[in-house]
Each structure stands twice: as structure tokens, then as C-alpha cells.
Structure 1
Amino acid sequence: MKLSALLVGSAVALLGAFCHDAHAQVLNPIAIKGYKMFDAKTGEYFMVKGVDYYPRPNAGELNVNNYDFFSDDHEDVWSQDLAYLKELGANAVRLYAVDPTVSHDKFMCALRAQGMYALIDMGASCLGCHITTDEAPACYSGELKSRGQQIIGAFAKYDNVLAFSAGNEINNDPTMKDFDNAPCQKRFVRDLREYIHECGMRHIPVGVVMSDRDRMINAQYYNCRTGPDDEFETVEWYGINVYLYCDAKVTKPSGGFAKLLTDFADMNPAAPILVTEYGCLNPSFPTVDGYDAQRTWTQAGWLYTKEFRDVFNGGFVFEYSTERANSKKDADYPFTSYGKQNYGLGYFSPEDCDHDKTKCKYNKMPNFDNLAKQYNSTDASDESKMAKFSPSSARSSPTKCPIEIKGLKGLDWSNSTDTKSLDCPPKEEFVCPGQKSSGKWFVGASSGSSSSSRAMTGSSKGSKPTKSSTSSKSGGDAKKATDSQAPATNNKSAAVIASVSWTVGLVAALATISAL
């Protein structure tokens, strides 16, 4: 046998092993102990280095708010982005819009292969899909309760679901009077937690995200028990959207960011605190390569210091790509000028790309590299493993409830309680193709469903289809619901195509040598 032929065979074997190892990694669920997050199996401390991800195109029917870009049908939309998110050093994405009636197997498995988790938002701006601005208890409907359970049923099988968010900034409507709808949000959290518990599924934490309005009153309320015997009404994590540190000359934690730290440190919350949106814009930031006001992301470095890690468990930067619909007023394509809504780490081109007839290509802005330097240089090696971590006694109990907001008792919740809970999802081990299972995480009995193991088939196995979308934030403006639907696509992952093309090319080249 020729030496070149041996080389061909060896190369193919090595490449096969390489490709297998690249996709066979194990990503374990994240568990909470006290106010910190850990790998549920290894016990390693986990700090969230996240990105708010909403890949909205510049034009076309999909240039809308509240759309689910993460389904199997949209593989051509999200597949290019995962490599960029990995380059950033991100380990989590926040998804503002999901439709629980379609399959997300491909996205969640591709995300898992990159070592990343997803924070799933649950609220929606469609009718009956969100906490309204009405006074409690009218602000919480049975339809919303069902929607939340439907999302849990659709996503609980994925071991890289970091957490569920029961709402995004329900306190940020200027037409709302005081805290009238806060008890509804708290009740929704309670019902979701109880559903997860009663179904015996993996313990996926449920929390909420608030805007930075009435900061401490809201934080105390969602971390307290208005009914001392109700273990489910407190959040299991708490998120706050803050836009602080707006002066490029500031190089040390001070002002608003320092106040954020002391406020939560003084409150002593028993649950993990996440900064779910951050990344203030200001013209004082430097111009780099023709792009004005490029964020330095100094605050990302602060957030992962020991001082901040003692209070916060990381956060999500806002946002992956500039949304032209929001930015065009003062910073239109190609988004080189400063604009109050030009929040992207990058942007899509060409100008008329629509994720359909004209595909969108992602282009990094200079602030992308600034964030990558911060995320890729984080070091939490001084954190204890879960088994050795002992929560502070000061942060081991629910906070004291603020007097400004009503408790849950004494309110008539028949709008939601009269709505029968959905059946529990099947207790089956979901395994991504080519990846290793992290194990079986469900417990107890399951509404007549037996435990089983199955691989991804690409089909959706869920509730009857209903159009749904989740509200999200675009620089302070809530995204509106949409009924638009995208055409189905079946493109392969860009990463897989690249790997296969490279492999075929190398083998062909070696085969040519063999023939000589």
C-alpha cells in the first residue's frame, strides 16, 4: 500500500474523530444554590456571560418585533450567528420571542454544541399573553397561565435552558398607576414554579426581569413572601435592565454602577441577581475605524470582578445586532454614526436584507471586539464549587415585603385558577444528535407518561398550534406583537457545511497525491 494512501486513510480517521469530538461535548444543566449558579454535575461556579439576541433583518416581512427566529425553519437565520457568539466568549443568550408550538430542536442543539445556554422569556404582547396594566387580579388571565405552561412543556426537555423569565419590564408602562399589576406578575411566577414542581421535571428556575424603575421596591417585592407558607411566590432569580456608565472617561466603578452594587448588596437577596440588559450608549465613547461612539464595555469587566460576583451572577449585554427599524431615525444603515438606538455589537448587510429573498450577512462593529476582550479574559477560579459554597446567613431568607405593593392573599384569582393546568410534558430524555446526554433530570411520577430516551427527530411534539410571541425591549421601546410568518427553510448549519467542505477538500487533495 502506498504511503500516500495510508495518509488518506489516517486523515479521514482523524478528521472523523475530530468532528465527533467537536460535537460530542456534554453540557450539564445549571443549578442554583443560594444566590449563585453552578454546573449541576461538576459543581463548577457558573457566571452568565450573555448576549441579548434578536436577529432582526433590515427590511421585509420579518423586520418586525416579537418574532421567533429560533425555530427549525429559521436555521438559515441563526446558524451564522453562533460562531460570532462563541467568538465573543458568550455562554448564554436571552431569547425575547419564542413560539411554543414549533420545534426549536436544531437551535437548542446547535447552541449546546457551542457550550451555550438560553434564557427563555415567556410573556407576550398578543391578547391574553401578558400581564396587563389593569389592577390586580384582572391583569392575570387563564390564557397567560396556559401559555406559560405550554412554553415550559416545549423547552423543559433541553438541558441548556438556563432559566425562564415570567415577564419583561411589566413595570415600565407610563400609563400604569403605581404597582397595580405587580401582584399578577408575582402570581404568574408562583403558578409556573408550582407547575414545574408538580410535574416532577428538571428544576428550571423561574424569575422576572424589571426595568430600573423603583429599583429596590420591585426587587424586594419579587424576592419576598407575602404569604409566609407559600414557597413558590418568590422568584428563583431576579433580572434588572439597567443602562448605566454613560461616560467614557470613567474607568473605575463609580456613580450609577457603584450604586447598583451597593443597593443590591444592602438588600441581601436570597436569589441570584442578573443584569439582563446593559450597555449604555453615549457620544463620548471613541470613534473607531469610522464607527462613532463605540462602547468600551468596561462595565462588563467590572461585572465579573470578585466584588460584583459577590452580589451578581453575571448578565446579558444589549444587543447582538442593531435593529434598523429602531436606529434609522438618527443612525441609519450602515450604522456608523452615534444614535440613541444603535445598540448593536454588529449589524446586518446589505441594506435591504430580509432573511428571505436577500440573505443577511453579519458584520462586526469595533465594540464587538471590545466586549470579546472582556468576556474572554474573565476569571472566576477563586469561586468555590457548589459543594463547598455556603450562602451567607444574611442572604438565606426572603426579603422583607415592601408596604407599597399588595400581597397575593385576599385577591380573587379565579381568572387563572379556574383554568385547568395543562398535562405535564412526557418525561423523556432528549438527546441532541452527535452529542452526549447529560443524564435524566426528571423526578417522580408523570401524569401517566413513562420515562424514555429519544433523539431529535426535527418534528415538534407539543400543544395545538397557536400564534404567540414574546415582548422585548429595543432601547426602551417594547417590541410589538406580529402575526407575520416566515417561509420554511432547510439549510444546513454553516459550521457543519464548512467542516464538511474542508474535510472533503482535504481528502480529495490527499487522494490526488495518492494517485501520483
Structure 2
Amino acid sequence: MLSKALVAASLIASSAFRPIEAVPTVSAVGSKFFMSNGTQFFIKGIAYQKTPDDPLIDTKQCQRDVALMKTLAANTIRVYHVDPSGDHTGCMSAFADAGIYLLLDLDTFNTVIDPIVASWNQTQYSAYTKVMDAFVTFNNTLGFFVGNEVIAMNNQSLAAPYIKAAARDLKAYRDAKGYRKIPVGYSAADIAELRPALQNYLACGTNSSESIDMFGLNAYEWCEASNNFQTSGYSTLNSYAQIYNVPIFFSETGCRTSPPRLFQDQSAILGPQMNQYWSGAIIYEWIEEANGYGLISYGPNKSATVTASDILGGYSVAGTPTPMSPDFSNLQAQWKTLNPTGVASSDYKPTMTPPPCPASTAGGWLVDGNVALPSLGQTQQTGTATAATATSTGTAANPSSTKAGASGGKEITGMSVGLVAVMLGFMYWL
């Protein structure tokens, strides 16, 4: 006979899981995301990498953050690195209870695809599948990325087949395990010379098992209040999305040349100019760092010892989140009025076919057509990149540097590259 204590513990445990089970799942259908209740899903997201290793294991901190995220009307977070052996139930339950979904990168610091000596090997595959295994049980897992800005310069495009091979094998693993068809995709740097070749290549081909399920773009073009849909270059990006056959969205955005940020691009992305083609945006980023992109602050770091949890000296990574004024309220005001309804899944009949596989060009795209994808364990020397060949450049020390893009807009670069560089630096301190 079960003891009263055991019964009580069982009830508590079951209640903790209930929000995760109750939240509708999201799937990719054609070029759109749909919730399992038939409603089209548009991302209002925030980049949420508070610690180098895993922000989803501190339940109390997640609960503090989610309470404030709800006031923003956020419905998605993006996390770049996790420890698959950690217990994520508490945080995922807190986010699920608030109707917030997770976009998760599968790579780790040691298993990213190297654009210079590209490879897709068993070590990488095993690491990615462990992360997938750890998160497929949560209904509010929205999607997985097999890479983030792997190709950061235009002459690194020969790494693209390895990205596509990773997506192929992770989708095959997902299906062989009988998992829910959580979308598998890629998050790309906004490189003018590779538009739209990279996004089209990753989705092209007649064999859907070898193509991505979704495509994210890290774009920092709409920077000043004087910018608009045309001058920012968003009109060009929009033209590339109109024939895309899988969901496309901004996996990072939130340009900053000088404070404050107004987030005026959200009215275009989530408004009638773009929402028939785009599925929303992720704002960079939740926590305040030295780059000034934070929406909240936990206050100054009082610790005398710098640890791996201190992303940058002087900034805490835990505590009561306090909105950064006026950026937080500016985003809140934008999202408050932007609630696209889209189309019901029952009325949606996808007609888009995969884009043609792009031919190689002198401008930087080096993959010629629908080349055979590398097998697991294959490595290729893709060449040495130099910063002078790329439109999108930048450094972790100056992530808000801008450079005019081919579209006529401005591209702020180095954001994700800078984030990874900062995190990697802490690994050497441990």
C-alpha cells in the first residue's frame, strides 16, 4: 500500500508535468507553423542564454524570468547551449505554463560544425542526438537548430553540405525513434553575398528527408528610427521569402546603433507587409551585457570570484529581473499591438515547391547545384576565410559595428559570434 507521503509526492510530480503535456504542440506545415489546435503560430521570441552552459536547469530563476516575459507577450525563447544530462523539467514546465516555446541549438562548444575544416562525424552526431533526446518529451519544444552562423563569411559556403547532412541525419534519427516531428533547421548569418543562395540550398532538392524544416535569419539591418521597410533592406529579404517552402523567421534581430532601441521592424515582420511570408522574430537578448542589448538586468555582480556563470564581469546572471528602460517598454508597446492571426490549418493548402538548388557564383556561393551530401564521418578542407571577403564582419569587442549591405540596409554583425566567443573565453578560466 502506498504511503501518504508517496501519494502526495506523486501528485506533486504529476502536477509539475501537466503544463508541459497540456500546451499545444507546434509543427511546420508548408511555409508556416501551426499549433495542434489549428491556429497559425507567429514567434515573439527572446534569446535566453544567461549562462555559458545551460540556462534551463535553474527552475526558480526561470520562474522569475517567465513572470516578466509574460508582460511582454513573449511566446518563445531561443537557447544556444544546454547540458543534456541536466534536469530541465522545472524550467520547461514554467515556460509551458506561460505558453512559451523553446527553439534550441543542438550543438555544444566542442561539436559545432567548423566552416574551415568542415566535418560531420560520429562525435557530433552523438552529442546532437543526446540534446534532442533530452527535449523531445516537452510539448513546448518548438524546433532544433543544427547550427548557428556556421557560415559567417561568404567564402565559407562549402560548409553548407555538412549543415544539410546534419539536418538529414537528425531528422532520420527523430523519425527512427518515433519522436514527434519537431522541426529541424538552421540559423544563418545575414551575409549579402549569400542571399538567397544559402536559404534556398538548405531547402532545395526533391528528397525532403535531406532538406531543412525551417530557416532562421540573424539580421540586424533596421537600425535607426529613420529606417523603414524599403531603406532597411527588409523589402529585399521579403522578396526572397515569398517563394520559400518552409517556415522562415528572424532567429535574431533587434538592431542597436545608439540607444534606445525602438523595435520598429516588429511592425513590419508581424504586420501585413511580411507576416504572410515570415513566422516572426527572436529579439536579441534577455540579459544585459556589456554590448547593451539586454532587455533586463539582474543587477551588478557582487561576487568576488568570477566563475563560468558570470558571462561578463560586472553583470549578474541570476536574481530578480528588472526591465531596462526604455528598451523593454518599447518592445512591449510594439508586441502589444501586433497579434497576427494568419490562416487556420484547416484552410491552408501548401502550394510552394522546394526552390531550385543554386549554381555556384563568383560572388561567394561555391556549392554548385544539388551536390551529394557528405556521409557521416566525412571531412573536407573548405579553405581559409579572410574577413575582407565578407560583408558581415565584426568582433566580440565591437558587436554593434555596422556595414552597408548589398540591399542598401545596414547589417549589425558579430552578435552570435561574439556571444560564443565570450562563452568560450570562460571555458579557459575553469
Judge same fold: TM > 0.5, yes or no. Answer: yes
Relative distance call for 1:97 and 1:37 in structure 2 (3 A) is same
1:414-436 Cα offsets, whole Å, 9 max, x none, are 5179xxxxxxxxxxxxxxxxxxx
Using the alignment, how far apart are the partners of 1:407 and 1:415 within structure 2?
22
- Cα contact 1:96–1:472 (8 A) shared by 2: no
Q: TM-score, normalised to structure 2's length?
A: 0.77
SS at match of 1:115: coil
Equivalent residue letter for 1:299: D
Using the alignment, how far apart are the partners of 1:27 and 1:75 within structure 2?
18
SS at match of 2:24: coil
SS at match of 2:201: helix
Relative distance call for 1:478 and 1:275 in structure 2 (3 A) is farther
Counterpart for residue 499 of structure 1: none
Q: 2:189 matched to 1:233?
A: no
1:68-92 Cα offsets, whole Å, 9 max, x none, are 1211xx2243331111111111000
Matches within 5 A, 1:99-498: 99-126=83-110, 129-136=111-118, 139-172=119-152, 177-213=155-191, 214-225=194-205, 228=206, 230-250=207-227, 254-265=231-242, 268-283=243-258, 293-323=259-289, 327=290, 341-352=291-302, 360-365=319-324, 366-381=326-341, 383-391=342-350, 393=351, 396-404=352-360, 405=367, 410=372, 413-415=375-377, 473=416, 478-481=421-424
- Cα contact 2:204–2:370 (8 A) shared by 1: no
- Cα contact 2:45–2:283 (8 A) shared by 1: yes
Equivalent residue letter for 1:302: A
Structure 1 residue 26 displacement after superposition: 2.9
Using the alignment, how far apart are the partners of 1:411 and 1:249 within structure 2?
44
1:140-171 Cα offsets, whole Å, 9 max, x none, are 11111111111111111001000011110000
SS at match of 1:270: coil
Using the alignment, how far apart are the partners of 2:19 and 2:179 within structure 1?
26
Using the alignment, how far apart are the partners of 1:85 and 1:205 within structure 2?
24
Using the alignment, how far apart are the partners of 1:485 and 1:235 within structure 2?
36
Structure 1 residue 480 displacement after superposition: 3.7
Equivalent residue letter for 1:398: P
Identity of aligned residues (%): 25
Structure 1 residue 232 displacement after superposition: 1.3
SS at match of 2:44: strand
Aligned residue pair count: 362
- Cα contact 1:130–1:140 (8 A) shared by 2: no
Using the alignment, how far apart are the partners of 1:68 and 1:253 within structure 2?
39
- Cα contact 2:196–2:240 (8 A) shared by 1: yes
CA-based RMSD of the aligned residues comes to: 2.9
Q: 2:28 matched to 1:32?
A: yes
- Cα contact 2:20–2:92 (8 A) shared by 1: no
SS at match of 2:223: coil
Relative distance call for 1:406 and 1:154 in structure 2 (3 A) is farther
Counterpart for residue 437 of structure 1: none
1:348-370 Cα offsets, whole Å, 9 max, x none, are 21343687999533221111011
Using the alignment, how far apart are the partners of 1:182 and 1:108 within structure 2?
32
Using the alignment, how far apart are the partners of 1:24 and 1:410 within structure 2?
40
Q: TM-score, normalised to structure 1's length?
A: 0.65
The structure with the largest alpha-carbon Rg is 1
1:74-118 Cα offsets, whole Å, 9 max, x none, are 224333111111111100000111111111111101110111100
Moved more, 404-413 or 101-110: 404-413
Using the alignment, how far apart are the partners of 1:241 and 1:358 within structure 2?
24
Relative distance call for 1:112 and 1:179 in structure 2 (3 A) is same
Structure 1 residue 261 displacement after superposition: 1.4
Using the alignment, how far apart are the partners of 2:212 and 2:254 within structure 1?
25
Structure 1 residue 181 displacement after superposition: 1.3
- Cα contact 1:55–1:78 (8 A) shared by 2: no
Structure 1 residue 390 displacement after superposition: 2.1
1:199-241 Cα offsets, whole Å, 9 max, x none, are 211110100001001221111111112xx4x321111100000
Using the alignment, how far apart are the partners of 1:412 and 1:309 within structure 2?
35
Gaps of 5+ in 2: 1-14, 311-315, 361-366, 380-413
Equivalent residue letter for 1:306: P
Gaps of 5+ in 1: 1-18, 57-65, 284-292, 328-340, 418-470, 487-516
Relative distance call for 1:38 and 1:107 in structure 2 (3 A) is same
Relative distance call for 1:156 and 1:414 in structure 2 (3 A) is closer
Using the alignment, how far apart are the partners of 2:149 and 2:318 within structure 1?
32
Using the alignment, how far apart are the partners of 2:47 and 2:317 within structure 1?
24
